[in-house]
Amino acid sequence: MKHVFFAVVLGLFFSVNLIQAQSFSNVQLKTLERQTVQSGDVIQNDEGPVLLCFWATWCKPCIKELNAYNELYPDWEEETGVKIILISTDNARSMHRVAPFVNGKGWEFDVYIDANSDLKRAMNVVNIPHTFLLNSEGEVVWQHTSYMEGDEAEVYEQIQAITVNNE
């Protein structure tokens, strides 16, 4: 039985690699005004791709990453129509800080709160920051974990790649 199990697991490891696109389960998120919404209803962009960023107010590299995106966002938006959506994994301790934090930083992104990590789990995120690039069909076409200075260049290349493909 054990052998079968491991065979299946191994099989899965390889077979899933063939699958490029990944969407996700519909889970409940909260807006900054505490409105409960379905992830499927809000994580979408008719104009183009979505850059979905998992972060938290207590996560140092996340803040560095989002500060970097924020500077480039007006240009990216104009050139590719990309929409950046933040998913805060702050729990009950720090979720109240999210709105003042985001505003205090002057970030211009859409932000949703995933206070019990439901979406984080549904998208199999292990560590934050973790960024997904979704195409206009909502399929995951690229993902990246952690943030290092300069990663935004690669992110932009990936966004451009799918927007060029679409046109």
Which stretch, 45-53, 77-85, 89-97, 159-167, contacts another protein (CB under 8 A)?
A: 89-97
Query: Across 6-161, where does the E strand assignment appear?
Result: 28-31, 36-38, 50-55, 83-88, 110-113, 130-134, 140-145
Q: Which of 74, 93, 137, 166 touches another protein by CB under 8 A?
A: 93
- β-strand partners of 110: 85
User: Hey, is 84 helix, strand or coil?
Assistant: strand
Amino acid occupying residue 148: M
Query: Which residue matches tokens 């993902």?
Result: 143
Q: Does 32 bind another protein (CB under 8 A)?
A: yes
Q: Which of 51, 85, 102, 162 touches another protein by CB under 8 A?
A: 102
Other Cβ atoms less than 10 A from the Cβ of 38: the count is 11
Q: Does 105 bind another protein (CB under 8 A)?
A: yes
Query: Across the chain, where does the E strand assignment appear?
Result: 28-31, 36-38, 50-55, 83-88, 110-113, 130-134, 140-145
Q: Which of 67, 75, 79, 166 touches another protein by CB under 8 A?
A: 67
Q: Does 24 bind another protein (CB under 8 A)?
A: yes
Closer residue to another protein, CB minimum distance, 116 or 136? 116
Q: Does 85 bind another protein (CB under 8 A)?
A: no
Task: List residues near another protein by CB under 8 A.
Answer: 1, 4-5, 8-9, 11-13, 15-17, 19, 22-26, 28, 32-36, 38, 57-60, 64, 67, 71, 90-94, 96-97, 99-106, 108, 115-118, 121-127, 130, 142-146, 148-150, 153
